[in-house]
Amino acid sequence: MAAVHGAMPVAPANAANLDARAKPARLLLPALVVVMLVVLGLFLPTVVTSTFYIGLLVNAIVLGIAAVSIGLLAHQCGLMMFGAAAFTGGSTYLFAIGVNSFGMSAMGAAGFALLASTVLSALIGALVVRARPLPFAMLTLALAQMLRSMVMITDFRPVTGGDDGLALNFTGGFFGLTQSQMSRPEGFWPVAWLALCGVMLLAWALGHSRTGRVLRSIQANEERMRFSGFNTYGPRVLAFTVAGFIAAVSGLLTALHTAFASPELLDFATGGNALVSTLVGGVGTVGGPVLGALLFTIGQDQFGATGHLELLTGIGVVLVIVAFPQGAMGFIRGGFGRLLRRNPAPAKDDHAAR
């Protein structure tokens, strides 16, 4: 039979299989680059020998992990968590209570803090994810303030330390590191760096999974997703639980590094720093909140030396948000995108490709 003029060419039957086999090969190089960066990051203290700057980077990592939890919910669900301090400070107190009241080792108390925080996140998420964005934000803020008031109750003072907080003196090592080693920034750096890489990988994996696609579709049109037969409640509870777990990792790092839990960790200002970092860096990528935390930490150090910390911080945050609505990371991505559009890659010859 003669071929029909102008008919669309039929793709080979095995084209999909070839593409499926080629996809892992395309991901191999980025994966190797990421692994190399993770390994090289462990040796940063050998390059940056200043204890002050390593300490500054450790603080940025702890803040950045909390910001990643806020950015995860904001990007995937369109929900902004004002009360992140409830999960960061709550994890610090759970670790302290495990050590002081239950006599746990560092590893045991860390597992207890993360497990309890994750379970509580799931329970709280089951109650609040149905709320609209503004009520959701206020509910999380109320949770943090409630916990802050709870730890300061006089009757709970033997457990929580009240206004004085809890000083820690834990036994045993944490992945081979003693308490004195983790109190030094250069000794604590590998723990903080690997924790940051781990939570960023977790947030990235959730965003690129089927659950992440469902979450973004729910954010765009929840009613349509519900009518299409999708469960719009379970994925949001899962996202909130993962965000609570990530925030708990930040609180655990605080406990391990500072060996102290205080009511200020549950204050709005603590969660507000992570929130501002998220807005400065942008929520469109996993790295945006981390970049925002780094910029915020450096800014706090520089502004604090002038004696006008709050004033300059407020001006700086307003200028960044107005100038870069998508955050610092969004500005960087946009710049790369414009550069690539000006210098497009040369088209491949079809005959050569065949």
- For the segment 110-138, the average pLDDT, to the nearest whole number, is 94
Residue 137 lies in a domain: yes
Dmax (CA) for the chain in angstroms is 92
Of 277, 306, 309, 313, whose CA–CA distance to 294 is shortest? 277
Query: pLDDT tens-digit profile of 9-29?
Result: 444 545 545 455 555 667 787
Task: Provide the pLDDT confidence category of residue 343 given band limits of 50, 70 and 90.
Answer: low
On average, the pLDDT of the chain sits at 87
Residue 27 lies in a domain: no
Residue 229, sorted as left (phi over 0), alpha (psi -120 to 50) or beta, turns out to be left
The pTM of this model reads 0.88
**CA separation for the pair 313, 300 (Å, rounded):** 7
- For the segment 23-51, the average pLDDT, to the nearest whole number, is 84
Residue 81 lies in a domain: yes
Residue 37 lies in a domain: no
Task: Provide the pLDDT confidence category of residue 206 given band limits of 50, 70 and 90.
Answer: very high
Task: Provide the pLDDT confidence category of residue 115 given band limits of 50, 70 and 90.
Answer: very high
Residue 274 lies in a domain: no
Task: Provide the pLDDT confidence category of residue 305 given band limits of 50, 70 and 90.
Answer: confident
The parent domain of residue 136 ranges over 57-267
Residue 8 lies in a domain: no
Number of domains present in the structure of the chain: 1
- For the segment 17-42, the average pLDDT, to the nearest whole number, is 75
DSSP class of 184? S
Asked whether residue 277 carries a pLDDT value surpassing 90, the answer given is yes
Asked whether residue 353 carries a pLDDT value surpassing 50, the answer given is no
Residue 114 lies in a domain: yes
Residue 47 lies in a domain: no
Could you tell me if 65 and 246 are in contact, meaning their C-beta atoms sit under 8 angstroms apart?
yes
Residue with the larger pLDDT of the pair 60 and 321: 60
Residue with the larger pLDDT of the pair 350 and 74: 74
Asked whether residue 304 carries a pLDDT value surpassing 60, the answer given is yes
